[in-house]
Structure 1
Amino acid sequence: MSAAVLTLVVATTVGVGAASAEAETRTTAARAHATDSNRGHSAQKSEKWQALQLQAEKKQAEKKQAAKKRAEKKQADKQNAAKKPTSTPTPPAEAAPAPTTPPAVATTPPAAAGGSGASSYPLHTGIVATTFWVGEIFDANAEDGSQMLSTYDANWFANYGGCDGVTTKGTCSTEKRVAGNGFFPTSMTPKQNPFYLDLPYDDVNDKTGFANRGSVIPWANQAAYAGKAGDASVSLMKNRWVKLMKDGQTCYGQIADAGPGEYHDSAYVFGSNDARPANARYGGAGMDVSPALNGCLGFAELDGDADVVDWQFVEAADVPAGPWLTVSSSDNRVIN
């Protein structure tokens, strides 16, 4: 090989290596930017992410194994039945065991269609509300960059019934909701209330939120929660009702998660002086709302941070009739 050709090869190789290094630098920077802009949840909750994922996978494997054993037993029973002579008398049926009373389940009071909508809880005004949905994955590289689970339900995606929107090429996306079908999703039937939201007070996985919940949550001493303040298997926030108002429209929803951005912001969530949310991200949002609430309230954006609402807690007995009661929930157990 001539000296001139050798020089050309070396120069080309160096150029390619430099270009590869530059591309890798741009990729690393892009990933860092994506992580910095991540709309994530609490640090406390994210610490449980991997453990919860492993638990979910283990439960799924156990279910599959149990289903396989049932199928095998059913097949064996059929084969044994076929071998038995037809003249074999059928043994007398045994008396059914006496029914047992299941253990009491902690629940929030059920909503009664016909409530007036009146509320004595403090009113929070001019609060930025962003939109989230079950099945949303907004940062696959983050420890908790999705809505496959909530702080109160490690199996939220499955227990809800799947993607609360439209799945295209494996991606769960939101969709516009309309009054014609009660603001329900068009591609699935939810098993839980599609009118859900979150507020920045995690009373289960946030250490401060759990420690203070008995003193800062106004309904902590109600009969439904008596003696539960120290019980981490019960949430005092899950499925509580919230009244939301925007531009003359009023809708109702239930708490299903915690966030955005902050997780023990009691001054804002429970305060009586209309305090601003401590969260400074996502336009200073003080709550996330579901696609159903997004449509019901007439948000200008499907997934933005420019819509503003007024809101206040409301007792279940005061919730009026509406599409938010089509599939309502009262269970406040924590599902790990």
Structure 2
Amino acid sequence: MLRPIFILALATWLPLLSSADAQTAASSSAMPRVIIPTARQTIPSRRTPVAPNGQLYPWRQNITATVFWIGEQPTQNNPVPNCKSSWDQNWMANYGGYDNPEPAARVANHNASDFRPKGFLPKLNPFYIALPYNDILRHGAHKPEAARVIPWFRRHNPEPGKTVLKGRWLQIYHGGRSCYAQWEDCGPFVTDDWNYVFGNSRPKNHNNKDAAIDISPAVRDYLDLQSGEKCHWRFVEDAQVPYGPWKKYGQQSPGVTADGTDFEAKRRYLEYLRKLRDQQYQQKSLNELQR
């Protein structure tokens, strides 16, 4: 039961909140918001830029996506093979095999929350992407601008030549749905376009309809996002990534301990309870909340 003092304060604040909501509705309704399933939120570093609308990182809007996959062989549109990545010389082996993009060779099931190749269980996250920038100049050295243009570079304080980009989370939005994926390679076509990746410029590449983000087959299937179509994307912090098929496989899976405790099952159950609690709370009227 809410205390009378809290009820009086709530009644005083409601008109002010309604006015503020009305002023910001036009700007905030255009793009999706990150849903944080837990009560705790990571406090951004002072060096991390905060957009005027309060969102941690700005959206890159109307970006042409192309599909690529681990194990892809060179073609006219993709001259570089994908058996290894910019940061992983054994990418295909570490993933567990060839990430066959053919629909008949894939599991793509929203009900089961499962998106992966049929032939094996991937050892890395099947939700991966490539962006056209590499922070590494050569072994033991970063590019001169890396510390200046990468928002989280100084926060990580990396060793010389150690990337701070590999594994970075993104939110990708298309067709009324969003998913999350990790940055695992560089491209398409260029690897020095920091003005687009971290700045406000449009992509410098003009091949393949100005393609500026490569997406994996799992991202394609989840969003129904085909090569040549547009999407929006932005960076997100680890704590802002909700549980989903993008956390089902790979190094972030807790697994089962020696005593038989299945932390992955517990995590899914807790996530279900949180969603159920939030749904019930949102359905309550103001009068019910004041009781």
TM-score computed with the length of structure 1 as normaliser: 0.54
Secondary structure of the corresponding residue to residue 286 of structure 1: strand
Deviations 1:124-161 (A, max 9, x none): 10000000010111339x9x631100000011010111
Match of 1:114 among 33, 37, 47: 37
Q: Could you say which residue in structure 1 is the equivalent of 2:151?
A: 218
Q: Conserved in 2, the CA contact under 8 Å of 1:124 and 1:311?
A: yes
Q: Conserved in 1, the CA contact under 8 Å of 2:107 and 2:114?
A: no
Q: Please say if 1:261 is aligned against 2:189.
A: yes
Q: Please say if 1:310 is aligned against 2:200.
A: no
Q: Could you say which residue in structure 1 is the equivalent of 2:99?
A: 164
Distance change (3 Å), C-alpha of 1:138 and 1:181 = farther
Among all aligned residue pairs of Structure 1 and Structure 2, give the percentage whose two residues are the same amino acid. 35
Distance change (3 Å), C-alpha of 1:177 and 1:258 = same
Distance change (3 Å), C-alpha of 1:236 and 1:307 = same
* Structure whose residues are more often strand by fraction: 2
Q: Could you say which residue in structure 2 is the equivalent of 1:146?
A: 81
Secondary structure of the corresponding residue to residue 242 of structure 1: strand
Shift of 1:188: 1.3
Q: Please say if 1:287 is aligned against 2:213.
A: yes
Q: Could you say which residue in structure 1 is the equivalent of 2:73?
A: 137
Q: Which whole-Å CA distance do the structure 2 matches of 1:187 and 1:166 have between them?
A: 12
Q: Please say if 1:178 is aligned against 2:178.
A: no
Q: Please say if 1:235 is aligned against 2:163.
A: yes
Q: Which amino acid aligns with 2:245?
A: P
Q: Conserved in 2, the CA contact under 8 Å of 1:277 and 1:284?
A: yes
Q: Could you say which residue in structure 1 is the equivalent of 2:20?
A: none
Distance change (3 Å), C-alpha of 1:125 and 1:209 = farther
Q: Which whole-Å CA distance do the structure 2 matches of 1:178 and 1:279 have between them?
A: 34
Shift of 1:178: 3.4
Shift of 1:115: 5.3
Note the 1:1-336 alignment, pairs <5 A: 114=37, 119-139=55-75, 145-165=80-100, 175=106, 177-179=108-110, 180=112, 182-205=114-137, 210-222=143-155, 225-226=156-157, 228=158, 231-232=160-161, 234-271=162-199, 273=200, 275-299=201-225, 301=226, 304=227, 306-329=228-251
Highest RCO, 1 vs 2 (Cα 8 Å, sep ≥ 6): 1
* Structure whose residues are more often helix by fraction: 1
Secondary structure of the corresponding residue to residue 214 of structure 1: helix
Shift of 1:165: 1.6
Shift of 1:175: 4.9
Q: Conserved in 2, the CA contact under 8 Å of 1:119 and 1:313?
A: no
Q: Which has the larger radius of gyration?
A: 1
Q: Which whole-Å CA distance do the structure 1 matches of 2:208 and 2:196 have between them?
A: 17
- When the two chains are superposed, the root-mean-square deviation of aligned CA atoms in Å is 2.9
Q: Which amino acid aligns with 2:126?
A: P
Shift of 1:209: 6.7
Q: Conserved in 2, the CA contact under 8 Å of 1:119 and 1:314?
A: no
Q: Which whole-Å CA distance do the structure 2 matches of 1:267 and 1:294 have between them?
A: 26
